[in-house]
Amino acid sequence: MNDRARSLIALRIRGVLLALSACLVTTPAAAKDDPSLQAIATARLDALRGELRAAQDLDVMVSASVHADDGSLTAPPRRSSFAFSRPGDDVPFRFSIHSWSGPGGGSDLVCDGTGLVVGDPLLRRYELRPAPAAPGDVLADGDLAPRLGLGPAFVLAALGTGILDDLIVTDDITPCTVAGGQALAVRCRTSDAPDAPALELTIPRDGAAILHGVTMPVDEKHTVALVFTDWKRNAGADRADRGNRFSMTPPPSWERTDSLRAGASDEASRAPIHALVGRRAPRLTMRNADGDAVDPFTDMVVPVAILFTGDDALNDRAARDFASVIGTETRIRGYRVQVVDDASNGPGLDRDLAVEAARCAAAWRLSGLPTLVIVTPDGRIRAAQVGHPGRDVWAARLDPLLDRLATVPTAAD
């Protein structure tokens, strides 16, 4: 791989750092001034490199976190189940990633060597793309790299591009314990940039050549921590449904779309509000039952569901179904917003709001009623749906939706 490609991959990985989070599980023991530790650490790193170069298949759980210099978390947590199958003469490149938190709340990427499924579990939509030929093609893709998340991106780069090959072990080595086993926290520098900030690898002192964790600086005030668990030398059954890790069959309730790429023109033309997903929610002056101006997005502590409706029997039925599903749930607040010609007269019901049709249609890009949108406490739209699929569909989607939304930041960035 040439220097330009390596630089591009590094930029792609750095670009997703501040969208991730979790926690490192190493517990430092007392550091020892033992010269033999450097030889042991070097041998263990060499063994890890050899294991990654030789691995035909791999399956691992990885968590990622971004920490401020005071140790606090600064991004939503992200856990990913990552599977990899190395390409060969008669075997195509295959990989599978199921992540929690990310673009739209999560990512599903499954490549069986003939095609690639890109899925968004929060929106319950997916698209089909051509299969990438090699790991570097995935890492260099401006849309796929953020969907990978830093953890899988790091493992994919270690497996496919040799990013660990130029690391040199320093004399800064700390014995520690991980899950009751003896390990070493080893500071490493690259041979190309010896003055660059050190990368710390946590590796077992003996036994299988695996990674327990990686910490690396993002900038002067932030550090990324990766935690790896449940290493397997083959890509076995999926942890969730026990199916084939490389099966490209999306859940039957998901809708196929032409493109999940941000700002895709065909998606925006079919349902313009979808182009707002991931962006900050427009601010509108709405009226409550007393005729007072209100903003349902002020001081949010839980996600807010807004159902834009008209004033007819179909929209009334959708509103009743919406209220029965959302009304008793404490993890989300729900409002029906009637789109009317004159919003100065309130609709007269508790938690029902009204908004002027012309302003609402322009700001929210409404193309039909009813339209449901989910806004999280960071002020961003996380999901949108035009039409009423029925109460049972809304009820079935609510719990997994709230589980994913629980990882979204609670403050605007």
**pLDDT tens-digit profile of 90-142?**
888 999 988 754 333 446 888 888 999 998 765 667 899 999 988 888 888 88
Rounded to 5°, angle at Cα 63 from 58 and 66:
140
- Quote the mean pLDDT of the chain: 76
The residue from 256, 275, 297 where one domain ends is: 256
Do the Cβ atoms of 84 and 235 come closer than 8 Å?
Answer: yes
Residue 293: inside a domain: yes
Instruction: Show the domain range for 383.
Output: 265-405
Report the DSSP pairing between strands 125-129 and 167-178: unpaired
Single-letter residue type at 299: D
- Same-domain pairing of 242 and 275: no
- Same-domain pairing of 46 and 98: yes
Residue 412: inside a domain: no
The residue from 229, 256, 283 where one domain ends is: 256
Indicate whether 294 pLDDT > 80: no
Pick the closest to residue 251 from 58, 393, 104 (CA basis). 393
Residue 413: inside a domain: no
Q: Which of 136-150, 237-251, 303-317, 366-380 has the lowest mean pLDDT?
A: 237-251
The pTM for the full model equals 0.58
The pLDDT of residue 33: 58
- Same-domain pairing of 251 and 133: yes
Q: Structurally, how many domains does the chain consist of?
A: 2
pLDDT digits (tens, 9 = 90+) for 183-221: 999 998 887 776 777 889 999 999 889 999 998 887 778
Residue 27: inside a domain: yes
Rounded to 5°, angle at Cα 292 from 379 and 335:
45
- Same-domain pairing of 138 and 156: yes
Indicate whether 374 pLDDT > 70: yes
The enclosing domain of 210 has a CATH number of: 2.50.20.10
Indicate whether 372 pLDDT > 70: yes
> In sequence order, what are the residues at sequence separation of 6 or more whose Cβ sits closer than 8 angstroms to the Cβ of residue 98?
80, 81, 106, 107, 108, 238, 240
- Same-domain pairing of 172 and 251: yes
- Same-domain pairing of 229 and 330: no
- Residue 256: band (very low, low, confident or very high) from pLDDT cuts 50, 70, 90: confident
Q: How many of the other CB atoms lie within 10 Å of CB of 69?
A: 12
Distances 193 to 96, 166, 196 between C-alpha atoms, Å: 33, 10, 5
Q: How many of the other CB atoms lie within 10 Å of CB of 208?
A: 11
> In sequence order, what are the residues at sequence separation of 6 or more whose Cβ sits closer than 8 angstroms to the Cβ of residue 89?
none
- Same-domain pairing of 21 and 154: yes
Which residue is listed with tokens 């941000």?
A: 262
The pLDDT of residue 202: 92
Average pLDDT over residues 269-296: 75
Dist. CA 322–CA 394, nearest whole Å = 8
The pLDDT of residue 115: 92
